[in-house]
Amino acid sequence: MTEEKFDAIVIGAGMSGNAAAYTMASRGLKVLQLERGEYAGSKNVQGAIMYANMLEKIIPDFRDDAPLERHLIEQRFWMMDDTSHTGMQYRSDDFNETNPNRYTIIRAQFDKWFSRKVREAGTTLLCETTVTELAHDTEGKVIGVRTDRAGDVILADVVVLAEGVNGLLGTRAGLRQTPKPETVALAVKEMHFLAEEVIDQRFGLKANEGCVIEAAGTISRNMAGLAFLYTNKESISIGIGCLVSEFAATMESPYDLLENFKNHPSVRPLIAGSEVKEYAAHLIPEGGYKAIPPLFGNGWVVVGDAAQLNNAVHREGSNLAMTSGRIAGEAIVQIKNRGKPMIKENLALYKSMLEKSFVIKDLRKYKDMPALLHTNSRNFFTTYPKLLSQAAQNFMRVDSTPKIEKERATTAAFIKARSRWGLVSDAVRFAFAWR
């Protein structure tokens, strides 16, 4: 191995690494992929929802054999207080289309499949191999990697850092900083197994149809956070995540939060009688556009979570990862085909191509949202959900109170909790961050 040189080394076999390796190998490049887990997917954690369009651009006929759980026909958003939820629900038979738009997946299984495609395309995959450092030439260009296996530097023209949110290599090499506690969320998740028919019945589903519930409110105990419940074929992925900075400030335990969510009267009946088979934890990049580190340099590019490419507002991560991996791969192939070296000036092509895609456009759109939610978490995650619940209950309970008094009571409750100025200011700030 030490004598041969690769066109590219990809570090990591997650969504972005697989997308990059597949793109390059299928276009004839000699690619080595290094993965520290026993198999691709063994270290990877996601909710998980997979967006078909982004994978179609890499493997158009993926539906033929990819391990997909359910295609989503229904989405619920819940604002929760301690005993209730106020919800928005969208369900459409249009999502029962020939080529559905979104699927739930189980990452360990999906990544194994994706990895097989990557190897079939010609990539050499080496698992159980932790890359310990990047190797540089005397001018500082990245020329390869060192691993925890015996042997010298493995050489390549370019290294694709697809090492995930908690990637050590890029930070140790000074290419970017360790994520800050306020730019990453810690999420915990459990896999609850139930018979397929039970899931169908509880959510009103049939034949591989799936439902997603995403929930915010008092369940995150004043922290900026989100809980989720995704239906898989024979299991339910259930989890909750909040910013690490807020966990540290409140000393809340993530598993307490998850238990609390599971025992909420709106959630408990949905998972009753299930068998738990796994408990996982993972960080999610939440810093958005402003947290994106330098994306390329001499002999390297960074993709996916390692580059903080995650849209927290729309809860999209793996599609940005896949897309950034694909685009990095395409840029490298173009540079290679022109016979140019993998130096900074040429690899800038990756960034300019990424800026033309939805990845950077979407993140730029919401560049002010992370800061807003972070500084205003108590209002958005506790005060408003409680007020909404009171307003809904007030509206629905039929008693002898005249309606005009009910409306006044609801308005008064909002003003008392946030003041007129506070309400207007929250609305304006939210609108500006959203536009």
Binding site for another protein (CB under 8 A): 36-38, 41-46, 48, 106-109, 111, 127-130, 147-149, 165-166, 168, 178-181, 184, 186, 188, 190-191, 235, 244, 247-249, 251-256, 259, 262-263, 268-269, 272-274, 276-283
Q: Would you give the distance in Å from CA 131 to the centre of its chain?
A: 24
Q: Would you give the distance in Å from CA 86 to the centre of its chain?
A: 25
Q: How far is the CB of 202 from another protein (least distance, A)?
A: 11
- Cβ nearer to another protein, comparing 234 with 345: 234
- Cβ nearer to another protein, comparing 235 with 346: 235
Residues 66 and 221: their CA atoms lie apart, in Å, by: 38
- Cβ nearer to another protein, comparing 237 with 390: 237
Give the pair of three-digit tokens for residue 71: 């295609």
- Cβ nearer to another protein, comparing 261 with 350: 261
Could you give the dihedral angle defined by the CA atoms of residues 315, 94, 56 and 104, in that order, rounded to the nearest 10 degrees?
A: 50
Task: Identify the CA nearest to 158 among candidates 132, 135, 138.
Answer: 135
Q: How far is the CB of 104 from another protein (least distance, A)?
A: 12
- Cβ nearer to another protein, comparing 230 with 414: 230
Task: Identify the CA nearest to 283 among candidates 314, 238, 239.
Answer: 239
Instruction: Give exposure, 269-308, as e/b (b: 16+ Cβ within 10 Å).
Output: ebbeebeeeeebebbbbbbbbebbeebbbbbbbbbbbbbb
The residues near 212 (Cβ < 8 Å, ≥ 6 apart) are 49, 72, 74, 75, 76, 104, 228, 229, 230, 231
Q: How far is the CB of 384 from another protein (least distance, A)?
A: 26
Q: How far is the CB of 342 from another protein (least distance, A)?
A: 26
Residues 46 and 23: their CA atoms lie apart, in Å, by: 22
**Do residues 114 and 123 lie in contact, with contact meaning Cβ atoms separated by under 8 Å?**
no
Q: How far is the CB of 207 from another protein (least distance, A)?
A: 23
Q: How far is the CB of 196 from another protein (least distance, A)?
A: 16
Q: How far is the CB of 283 from another protein (least distance, A)?
A: 5
**20: three-class secondary structure by DSSP:** helix
- Cβ nearer to another protein, comparing 304 with 329: 304
- Cβ nearer to another protein, comparing 54 with 186: 186
